[in-house]
Amino acid sequence: MISQRYEQGSVMVTSNLPFEEWTEVFGSERLTGALLDRLTHHVHILEMNGESYRLNQSKRQKRAAETK
């Protein structure tokens, strides 16, 4: 899919892993390098750090349930 969309349209990818760990997921340095080469060409990378929104929501729900 990435090859088909390359320079043809937009692709949005989200991950909680840094690029350095993608080789472990895809199993091949060569494949990962080719993928990252295409993904990072003409790209905007948004790196977000902070507390997990879902974790905070779960904590609030748990506290609300405990107070009932």
**Which pTM value belongs to this model?**
0.54
> Residue 23 has what pLDDT?
93
Q: Across residues 51-68, what is the average pLDDT? A: 86
**23 exposed, middle or buried (CB, 10 Å; 0-12, 13-18, 19+)?**
middle
